[in-house]
Every structure is written in structure tokens, then in C-alpha cells.
């Protein structure tokens, strides 16, 4: 059992600093905010007292004094997939460079959940919201209008969207795969993708493929966005007896399931069937064989989003939309 003398001392308050320094609480507050109205002598004296008392103002107190929480909220569909983790890591690091904090909420791809989580973030003082995709509910739009906060769309580029966007032309990027298939002389294509409901990124990628008339035979299969979803789709392809030249997965997670299932059935990759992924997750180059994939610059997306939102919050500079590119990484599965 701890003795009383080992218990932590009571934390010093703003009032303690003012009393010890023999100045007003308002003067201490001005010193903390580096106000030019306080003389150097007074600043030095108050700062000495602050150091001796080990005083540290709480985030709540700083927010009350400055009217700023310096907090940004990010809403993403899930944390289960590395693509969002990479984006959030870059976003948080860059926000920290700008002396801002990040609070993350997941939506499971549900507009209702996104609205509820956005409400919670704004009620706790988030000064801006960063979201995935351009599709929003009317309730969300009304919420951010009421709170008068900036919103940035990520993973999607559309300069005409309701909010500034930092991301990709998903339809155009999907054509990188199609150009590669033409180069490899693949004629029949199976496209495996996750749910399209409430996912405008996937819908646009599919539209990019469907708008291309260079292929005689393209089949589409919607499954759960998981390794098991890729396995299930591959079993359906095998059982159909109609083996395509290439299986194009709109996520590396699906592609991993495809690789597993093809290998379980002793189907050679790429000699019997080629496989291509999307996202270039960190393990893609280490699969057997290494997975051909489209790399999206998600770290750059996080950095740009942080730079743009902090510039707006600190200076009022309008947020610019930023178009990012994708890159095809040719490996041994095609």
C-alpha cells in the first residue's frame, strides 16, 4: 500500500501561478499566449514561476483561451485494411508537424454511422473533418454547415465536388491495368471487387473498365472485401469451367485470396491464369509469385490533406483540390 508521501502532488493551477507570481490570472494567460502587451520582465518572472511549479495548462484551458482545439477529425470506412492505416499514419505525422492533433473514427462504410461519428467529433471540438470518397448524406452536409467547419474528401478527385478533394481519378487509374492487359495480349478478364453500395471509388473504377471496349469478354464478381471473398470468387471461376486470361482484383486483399485458391487447385500463375491487384499493400511484392498491382500514393494523400487543412485553419487560405497519380508495378503474377 502506497504511503501518503508517495502520492503525486496536486497539479498546479493557473490560479496558483498567478498567486505565486503576484500577478493577475489574466496576465498569466497573456504570458502563456505570448501576448506582446506583457513586458519582458513580467514574462520572465511568470515563466520562472511556471517552471518552479511545473505548471502545464490543460488542453481544455488552452482551447478556452485561444478559441482553438487544433484538432482534426478523420472518418474512414475501416482500420482493418492497410491502405487506410498508411494514409492515417502519414496524415497524423504531418498534422503533428503543424502542431495539430488527429482523432479517428470508423464508419463501416455507412452514411448513418458517418453522420453520427462526425457529430461526435464536432461536439468534442474538431475544427475540420477529413472523409473518404465524395458521397455524403444530406444530414452530414447540414451538420458541417451548422458547425461551419471545412471538409476534405480523400481517395477521390473531383474538382466539382461539394467539398475540396485530394485523391485520384479512379476511372482513369483502372485503365492502367487494361493497358497492361493489352500489352500482355489478355483477351478475357474476370474483375473481382468489393461492395459498390456507398463506395463511389469502387463504382468509378468499375466504370473505367466498362467504358473500355477493347476486350471481348469481361465478367464482374462482387464479393466481401476480404481474403475469403477472393477465395470464394476464385472457386466460382474454377467451377464455371471458363478460365479467364487474367483475374483483376480491385484490392490486393482480394488478390491474396485469389492467389491462395489458385495455388490450392494447382493452377499455375501466370502461365494458366494471370492475377493483378490494386493498392500495392506492403506485402504485395513478397507473395509467391510477387503480385502485380497498382500503387496509390496514399502517404502523399495524407500529407497533402494535412497541409491543406492546416493552411486553411491557420491562415484562411482556401483549400485546393489535388489530383494524385497511380503507378502500375509489374511483377510476376502477370
CATH of the domain at 235: 3.40.50.2300
Instruction: Please indicate, yes or no, whether residues 62 and 115 belong to a single structural domain of this protein.
Output: no
**In the prediction, which pLDDT does 3 show?**
45
Number of compact structural domains in the chain: 3
Indicate whether 75 and 62 sit together in one domain: no
Residues 291 and 317 in one domain: no
C-alpha cell at 305: 490533406
Confidence at residue 273, expressed as pLDDT on a 0 to 100 scale:
97
Q: Is residue 287 part of a domain?
A: yes
The last residue of one of the domains, among 66, 83, 100, is 66
Residue 305 in any domain: the answer is yes
Q: What gap in Å lies between CA 205 and CA 170, rounded to an integer?
A: 5
Mark which of 12, 31, 66 sits at the end of a domain.
66
DSSP state at residue 212: -
**Residue 330 resides in a domain:** no
Nearest to 32 by CA among 22, 53, 17: 17
| Same domain? 263 vs 120 | no
Q: What CATH number should be reported for the domain holding residue 24? A: 1.10.260.40
CA–CA separation, 43 and 50 (whole Å): 10
Q: Are residues 48 and 106 in the same domain?
A: no
One digit per residue, pLDDT tens: the chain, 334 residues?
Answer: 444 455 555 677 878 888 999 998 888 888 877 778 889 999 999 989 988 888 766 655 555 555 678 899 999 998 888 889 899 999 999 999 999 999 999 998 899 999 999 999 998 889 999 999 888 999 999 999 988 999 999 999 999 999 999 999 999 999 999 999 999 999 999 999 999 988 889 999 999 999 988 887 899 999 999 999 999 999 999 999 889 999 999 999 999 999 999 999 999 999 999 999 999 998 999 999 999 999 998 999 999 999 999 999 988 999 999 999 999 999 999 9
In this structure, the answer to whether residues 51 and 86 fall within a common structural domain is no
pLDDT of residue 53: 86
Judgement on whether residues 195 and 250 belong to the same structural domain of the protein: yes
Shared-domain flag, residues 177 and 292:
yes
DSSP 290: P
Q: State phi, psi for 202 to the nearest 5 degrees.
A: -65, -40
**Domain final residue, candidates 66, 92, 113:** 66
Identify whether 265 is part of a domain. Answer: yes
pLDDT of residue 80: 83
88 plus 140 within the same structural domain: yes
* Beta strand pairing call for 165-168 and 151-154: parallel
- Helices (runs of H) and strands (runs of E) counted in the chain: 12, 12
Strand 293-296 to 326-329 pairing: antiparallel
> Does 282 share its domain with 191?
yes
Residues 116 and 80 in one domain: yes
Residue 133: C-alpha distances to residues 105, 164, 232, 327 (Å): 15, 11, 27, 20
Q: Do residues 303 and 167 make contact, with C-beta atoms less than 8 angstroms apart?
A: no
The CA distance from 84 to 270, in Å, is 29
329 located within any domain: no
Backbone angles phi, psi at 37, to 5 degrees: -80, -5
Distance between CA 276 and CA 256 in Å, rounded? 10
State the pTM of this model: 0.77
Statement to judge: residues 288 and 186 lie in one domain: yes
User: Structural domain of residue 279, as residue ranges?
Assistant: 170-296
The answer to whether 213 and 179 have CB atoms below 8 angstroms apart is no
Amino acid at each position: 500500500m502506497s504511503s501518503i508521501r508517495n502520492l503525486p502532488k496536486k497539479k498546479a493551477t493557473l490560479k496558483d501561478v498567478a498567486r505565486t507570481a503576484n500577478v493577475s490570472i489574466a496576465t498569466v494567460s497573456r504570458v502563456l499566449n505570448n501576448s506582446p502587451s506583457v513586458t519582458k520582465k513580467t514574462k520572465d518572472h511568470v515563466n520562472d514561476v511556471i517552471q518552479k511549479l511545473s505548471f502545464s495548462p490543460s488542453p481544455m484551458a488552452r482551447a478556452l483561451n485561444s478559441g482553438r482545439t487544433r484538432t482534426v477529425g478523420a472518418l474512414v470506412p475501416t482500420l482493418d485494411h492497410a491502405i487506410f492505416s498508411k494514409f492515417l499514419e502519414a496524415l497524423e505525422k504531418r498534422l503533428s508537424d503543424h502542431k495539430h492533433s488527429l482523432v479517428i473514427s470508423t464508419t463501416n462504410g455507412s452514411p448513418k454511422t458517418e453522420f453520427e461519428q462526425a457529430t461526435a467529433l464536432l461536439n468534442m471540438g474538431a475544427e475540420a473533418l477529413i472523409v473518404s470518397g465524395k458521397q455524403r448524406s444530406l444530414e452530414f452536409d447540414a451538420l458541417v454547415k451548422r458547425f461551419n467547419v471545412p471538409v476534405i474528401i480523400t481517395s477521390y478527385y473531383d474538382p466539382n465536388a461539394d467539398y475540396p478533394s485530394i485523391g485520384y481519378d479512379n476511372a482513369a487509374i483502372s485503365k492502367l491495368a487494361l493497358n497492361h492487359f493489352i500489352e500482355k495480349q489478355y483477351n478475357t478478364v474476370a474483375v473481382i471487387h468489393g461492395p459498390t453500395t456507398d463506395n463511389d471509388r469502387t463504382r468509378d473504377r468499375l466504370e473505367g473498365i466498362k467504358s473500355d471496349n477493347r476486350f471481348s469478354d469481361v465478367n464482374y464478381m462482387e464479393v466481401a472485401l476480404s481474403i475469403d471473398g477472393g477465395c470464394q470468387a476464385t472457386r466460382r471461376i474454377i467451377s464455371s469451367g471458363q478460365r479467364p486470361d487474367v483475374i483483376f482484383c480491385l484490392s490486393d486483399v482480394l488478390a491474396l485470396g485469389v492467389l491462395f485458391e489458385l495455388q490450392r487447385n494447382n493452377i499455375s500463375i501466370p502461365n494458366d491464369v494471370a492475377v493483378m491487384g490494386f493498392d500495392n499493400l506492403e506485402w504485395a511484392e513478397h507473395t509467391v509469385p510477387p503480385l502485380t498491382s497498382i500503387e496509390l500514393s496514399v502517404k502523399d494523400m495524407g500529407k497533402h490533406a494535412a497541409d491543406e487543412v492546416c493552411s486553411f485553419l491557420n491562415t484562411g487560405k482556401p483549400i485546393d483540390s489535388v489530383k494524385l497519380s497511380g503507378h502500375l508495378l509489374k511483377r510476376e503474377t502477370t
